[in-house]
């Protein structure tokens, strides 16, 4: 599905668009700049003035007039303050108040019954569409995948694996660094398969980047757990390689994993996570989970839930299974009812929030280097709140005077407490 995102108002609204863009892509959809080509349009409204309210109403009406076939999801301050009025606007299919913004993508996909599956890849141009600044750059290092997970259509669409030569990637990264980029994230359809076609591997690429560039922070995109090369965790002894790994599990039940044609059983996954945590202090392990895969029994679901709980993930991307024509999973028997998938998804969301909070609390009282973003929140006439990310990819905020700016800098900060969905820090230097 083609998704178009629009906003009025503050830079925080723009930042939310970027996170939604990433989430829609992870769910298998594409972001488009062309409003009239979109099948789903998200409007992040504003209510800072009556003029902003008027413009929000006008924008929604104009979008529906210009593209009446598109579904419209309205969110933001105008919608939150005037939910009944906004719901009556012609063309609005779903209202998402500010309190639910963090779940907007999941709500839109569920409430509007939009098919959604993890895409296993992100395109750098798309991921940067709503960039808040030049703090980080996504680098596509390879394309294609040799594996055939039964739920994934991307492997069919993307074809054979193709890796970008290391020298080309080094030049690209050095170019970004010259522009002021402080963090590079390596991405690919099958990132762990990098180099399979050029007699290299991912470890070779990481070594080269750390040796031949001066990028302060190097981060890895999603990695299949069975792809990690020998002595992989030793790479993290270099502090420029960020201690965060996104390892898609997809299910905590071995019988479900077998139907998915996944190559990593739960015992193997458990050992990988254990090795990572022993070798890399405070590493953040995040994952993907598909809920309600065809034939998933109540017993399999409970086994999966219990295993996920034992893993103590820092964050989980949760996907309710939906049919993708052209995949083997689409022809499997015993597809689950939406009500069952929704109930299991809600249960897992609650667990995921508990684990995320627990991991954030483990990081309280620690001093870490923070890469500060460009967006801020006004706190008073003299101070504003600035947001950034720790090396292990936890969101952090700190208060600074209005005359100061931390944008695109890396400073040391001590975390003191969890506030909402981020850590509050002090003592930036």
Model confidence at 381: pLDDT above 90: no
Instruction: Give the domain CATH number at 284.
Output: 3.30.750.200
Q: Is the pLDDT of residue 375 over 80?
A: no
Over residues 155-213, the pLDDT tens digits come to: 654 567 889 899 999 998 998 788 788 998 888 778 899 999 999 999 999 999 999 99
pTM: 0.72
Same domain, 83 and 19: yes
Cα angle: 332, vertex 334, 336; to 5 degrees: 115
Shared domain for 121 and 236, answered yes or no, is yes
Q: State the Cα–Cα distance between residues 152 and 250, nearest whole angstrom.
A: 12
Question: Where does a domain end: 199, 220, 242?
Answer: 242
**Final residue before a domain boundary, out of 198, 227, 242:** 242
Q: What is the arrangement of strands in the sheet containing 162-163, beginning at the earlier edge strand?
A: 162-163, 136-143, 183-188, 217-220
Q: Which sign does the torsion angle of CA 17, 20, 25, 28 carry? A: negative
- Given 340, 362, 384, the domain boundary residue is 362
**Phi and psi at residue 279, to the nearest 5°:** -85, -30
- Check which CATH number belongs to the domain holding 225 and give it: 3.30.750.210
Q: Looking at residue 327, what is its pLDDT? A: 82
User: Does residue 101 sit in the same domain as residue 87?
Assistant: yes
- At 55 the pLDDT is 87
Report the chain's mean pLDDT, rounded to a whole number: 86
Asked if 110 contacts 125 with a C-beta cutoff of 8 angstroms, the reply is no
Give yes or no: residues 132 and 231 share one domain. yes
Nearest to 291 by CA among 343, 345, 364: 345
Dump pLDDT digits (tens) for 28-76: 898 888 899 999 999 988 765 566 778 889 999 999 999 999 999 999 8
Note the maximum CA span of the chain.
Answer: 62
Domain co-membership, 130 together with 212: yes
Our count of domains for the chain comes to: 4
143 and 64, same domain (yes or no): no
SS3 119: coil
Residue 129 has pLDDT above 80, yes or no: no
CB neighbours (10 Å) of residue 72?
A: 23
Q: Are residues 92 and 202 in the same domain?
A: no
Res. 136: pLDDT tops 80: no
Confidence of residue 95 (pLDDT cuts 50, 70, 90): very high
Contact call for residues 397 and 370 (beta carbons, < 8 A): no
- Domain encompassing residue 178: 117-242
Higher-confidence residue of 99 and 276: namely 276
| Distance (Å, whole) CA 252 – CA 274 | 16
């Amino acid at each position: 599905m083609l998704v178009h995102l629009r906003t009025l108002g503050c830079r925080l609204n723009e930042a939310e668009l970027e996170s939604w863009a990433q989430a829609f892509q992870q769910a298998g959809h594409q972001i488009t700049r062309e409003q009239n080509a979109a099948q789903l349009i998200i409007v992040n409204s504003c209510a800072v003035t009556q003029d902003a309210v008027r413009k929000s109403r006008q924008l929604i009406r104009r979008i529906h007039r210009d593209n009446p076939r598109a579904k419209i999801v309205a969110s933001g301050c105008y919608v939150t303050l005037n939910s009944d009025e906004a719901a009556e606007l012609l063309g609005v299919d779903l209202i998402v108040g500010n309190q639910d913004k963090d779940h907007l993508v999941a709500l839109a996909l569920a409430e509007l019954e939009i098919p959604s599956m993890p895409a296993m890849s992100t395109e750098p141009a798309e991921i940067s569409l709503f960039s808040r600044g030049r703090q980080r750059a996504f680098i596509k290092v390879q394309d294609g995948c040799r594996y055939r997970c039964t739920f994934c259509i991307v492997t069919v669409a993307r074809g054979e694996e193709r890796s970008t030569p290391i020298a080309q990637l080094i030049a690209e990264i050095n170019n970004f660094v010259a522009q002021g980029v402080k963090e590079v994230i390596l991405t690919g359809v099958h990132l762990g398969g990098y180099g399979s076609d050029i007699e290299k591997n991912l470890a070779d690429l990481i070594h080269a980047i750390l040796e031949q560039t001066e990028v302060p922070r190097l981060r890895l995109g999603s990695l299949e757990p069975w792809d990690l090369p020998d002595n992989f965790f030793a790479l993290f002894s270099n502090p420029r390689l960020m201690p965060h790994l996104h390892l898609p599990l997809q299910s905590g039940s071995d019988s479900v994993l077998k139907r998915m044609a996944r190559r990593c059983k739960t015992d193997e996954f458990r050992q990988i996570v254990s090795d990572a945590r022993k070798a890399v202090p405070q590493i953040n392990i995040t994952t993907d989970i598909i809920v309600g895969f065809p034939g998933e029994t109540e017993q399999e679901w409970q086994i999966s839930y219990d295993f996920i709980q034992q893993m103590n993930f820092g964050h989980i991307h949760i996907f309710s299974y939906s049919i993708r024509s052209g995949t083997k999973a689409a022809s499997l028997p015993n597809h689950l009812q939406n009500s069952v998938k929704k109930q299991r998804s809600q249960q897992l969301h609650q667990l995921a929030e508990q684990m995320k909070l627990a991991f954030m609390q483990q990081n309280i009282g620690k001093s870490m280097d923070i890469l500060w973003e460009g967006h801020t929140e006004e706190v008073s006439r003299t101070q504003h709140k600035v947001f950034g990310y720790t090396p292990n990819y936890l969101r952090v905020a700190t208060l600074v005077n209005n005359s100061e700016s931390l944008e695109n800098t890396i400073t040391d900060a001590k975390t003191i407490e969890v506030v909402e969905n981020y850590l509050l820090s002090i003592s930036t230097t």
